[in-house]
Structures are given as structure tokens and as C-alpha cells.
Structure 1
Amino acid sequence: MRAPDLSQLHALVSVVSEGSFDSAATQLHITPSAVSQRIKALETSVGTVLVHRSKPARITEAGMPYLRLAQQIGTLVAELTPGAPASVPIAVNGDSLNTWVLPAVAQLSHRMEFDIKREDQDHSAELLRQGVVVAAVTTSADAVQGCSVTRLGVMKYRPMCSPEFRDTWFRDGPSGDALSRAPMIVFDRSDDLQHRYLEQWSVTRRAGPTHFVPSSADFAEAVRLGMGWAVLPRQQIDRMRTGVDVVDLAPGTGVDVTLYWQQWTLKTAALAELASVIAVAAASSLD
């Protein structure tokens, strides 16, 4: 097998990050046919399929080492090119992004190019394994192969609803039965935080409706508007008027989520600086 061609590796990164051959072509300023030819030539060279031709396009298991290699080469090239911004794809859960991660990475945005993938904290490590991102906020303390792991702190979630919602659904106070029957708000179908909280009340099945609101800011707003109850991170609750906008359903209860920072062990100034600002932000924002 020949050593991979750099233009082919670049095309591989673009197809996976952009999600299609057409979008990759736009990013690379070439034709979709040229992108397809580069990917096909790389696949022929290595003797296997590297990209699922799906919508969106996805890396195959066999393609993951090549995607990681391509990302690493791109990072090193940017490091050695004066004036070239480092391209830094990272995976962050919506609550962290909305509360403390975005202000941290904003400090570096004038000299780094961020591609932030919003991914549930329980699944973000998979994007590291695939090579889609170079770093991630995750709940996994087990380092992905080729990565280092650092504990960031604990994100505390508390059960919240609007005062009117409480008066309607929890007149006699919180209980497993009332929680199971009251409308509940969930981020998306991979969000299990509300169900983890219900387990503390020995609730395994729900009778009430579930609303899906896949945006961290809109999620909190849906709680404030009385659409349902949900567990919200302390950092988001602090932005609201507790007792007016929202109320704590059961003070002293909640869900604790320990977060970790995983990143490639590839040593570059960009990754080191990013890890530093993330650590500082986590120290001041997490418990």
C-alpha cells in the first residue's frame, strides 16, 4: 500500500465534517466529482471502504484510523504554517456549551477555527474514537486510545418547573406517581437525565406526555413556560429567577454528572492552550 496522498486525506476530513461530497466540494473549492475521485483513490489504495455513502456521510470502522491521521496531519501543518489558524473540531454536550464552554473557547476564536459538535456527554467519546474530533467533554473516565483524560468537575442538575406547573401537578408535593404523570421535557431521545432522576423515586414507567426540545436555551425556556418539569443544570438555574421563573420541585434532590476532558495526546500549542482555558473555566463553573 502506498502512503496516503495528502489531498485524499484532506478530502476524507471534509466529507465527514461536512456530511456530503457536495458540501465537501464547496469547502475545498473543487468539483464533487473530484472529491469522489480522491476518496475512491484512497479507498482503492488501502483496499477497503472508508466512507458510508449515507446522508449524512459517515466514516466506516476501517476509515477511522485514516480520519485520525488526516486530522493529526492537518493540526501539525497548521502548527507549522505562520498565520494559519488551527482547525479544532471538538465535541461538547449542549448544557456545557450553553453555560461555560462557549465563553472559554471564545477567548481563542481569533486564532483558532472551531468546529463544535453538539453531542450528549455520554456519547461524545465515540466521536474521539472515530477521529471526527480532537477533544471532547465526556462522562467517560476511561481514555480513548491515543487520548489523555482529565477530570473537570461535577455538573449538578436539579428538578425544576414553573410555579404554575407546580401548583397544577404537585399540589400535594412531589412523589413518584406525580412525577410519572406530569408532563416531562427531554432534550432528545439520547437524553436520559430525567429518567435517571425518576429512578430515585422508584419510577420505571411514565403515564404523562413527554416533550422533546433539542436546544439547551429553549429547553430551559420550555420549563419556564410551564410545558413540563425537567432537571436543569445549576449554571442555567442561576440565570433564572428562582421562585419566580422556576421553582425547585424537591430541594436537596437531583442528578450529578461528572465531566472529563479527553483530547489527543498529540502535542501542539493549540491543543495545550485549549486544554488550559477549558480547565480554568471548569474550575470556576463546575462543582
Structure 2
Amino acid sequence: MRGIKTGLLRDVETRPRIAGDAFKSKPVANRLYQTSTMAALLDAVYDGETTLDELLQHGNFGLGTFNALDGEMIVTNGVARQFRAEGVAAQAPGSLKTPFACVTYFEPEQCFNIDRPLGKEGFEAEVDRLVGNPNLFAAVRFTGQFERVETRTVFCQCQPYPHMLEVVKKQPTFSMESVNGTMIGFRTPAYMQGVNVAGYHVHFLTEDCARGGHVTDYKVTRGQLEVATIADLDIRLPRTQQFAQANLNPEHLHDAIMEAEGG
């Protein structure tokens, strides 16, 4: 499949400078770097090998979770923040590891000012219109005013790890009204369900960087929508025994992921 690579991959291109000078690294914009798969997370593969320091070498924008499913992750402007069970945001140390995360160096290709209320379906329709191609990934950022945002986080889990569908039954949920902030995430093509989350997967951070989490519903009022298409994927698959024993193609995979993600 074009643009998809597996293994330990580089996220920078190198180009020669004038003779005698050292090579200079240049980040590649709008290429998705992903650790593990959503199907593995669904099957309770909650421990990964990638540290946040390593993850942030591959992007300054993205989302994910932490080992032992210890909260939700948002990466904005190169800073990774952790929303734990209480929904409060805190900068995460680079030594923390992640079992699943997606990041990119986000460079918007299109910007659109939203000046009217839009719910989840209307907002996604605007993104689809701007992106055009339903078979490409897209990175999405909205900065502005929200009439409401519904979020959730997850509790840190203990081994033996329960299935994710059991975890989300007890997840803390939060409702914020008349709030300013940033919502970021990715739109994944339907054919990639299980590798990632088909459709929209977005996280939210308040303007004061104090609260947020995984978004389950929302209504925007006004603000700036920015999008970029993504045609290249780098996927790093774990070499752990837990991943080797995971069932990555269960029955009703789509329904299970939608339930887990609150879709």
C-alpha cells in the first residue's frame, strides 16, 4: 500500500548543504507517525515501548494515550499533555511511554473561518468538503469558541488488563459550556479501521491549557478551522509478547471501536 511503512522509521528528511558542511535535518510536514494500532489497544495492549521524547521527534501535533491507559494525550505546539481521570491537563514528562499515539508536523493547507453554530455532523461535513478526497487521512485543528464540549478520560489500569470496552463503561465524563479552546485530531479513511479509528478522532484543550480530554460530542460557535491532507504513514509496531498474542481482527471490530471511542 503506497505511503505506508512499518518498523522503526525516521520522520525527517536530510538534504546536503554546501560541500564540507554537515547535513541538516528538516521535519517532513503532514506525514503521520503512529505507534501500534487501535485494534491492539482495543484488545488491552496497554503497554508500549515508545517514550514521549521519542514520539515528539516525529511530530508537534497529535493525540494518543499512555501506558496502562493512564489518561488521554494531546500534543499541541510540540508539548504533550496528559488528561488523567479528573480531566485536568498537565504537561507530561518525556520519560512516559505510550501504547498508541499519532503525531505529525502540522502545516495547514486550507483555512476556513466558521461564523455560525455547527454541531459534530455539520463540522465534520465542512472538513470533508475542504479535504475533498475521502480516501486520504486529514489533520484537523479548530481554534475558537464552543457552545459545549463533551469529553472523557480513562482511569489508569492494573494488570491483568481488562478489555477496553470494560474500561470505557466506567470512564469519567465531563461537560463544558461556553468555553474557548482548541480541538485537534485526525480523520481516518474507513478502510483503515482497526489500524486507526475510522472517521474522526479528536481531543480538546481549553484556552488556558487547564482542562480537556477525548471529545465525544461538541458544538462550535465561531473560530478558525485548519486542515491538511495526509498521504504518508509511518507505523511502528510493537515487538512485545503482548502485541504478538493480541487478536487484531476480532468479530465486530468496527462496532467495538465505535463504542470504545464514543462514536
**TM-score, structure 1 as length reference:** 0.23
Q: Tell which structure's C-alpha radius of gyration is larger.
A: 1
- Compare the two structures and name the one with the higher strand fraction: 2
Higher relative contact order (CA 8 A, sep 6+): 2
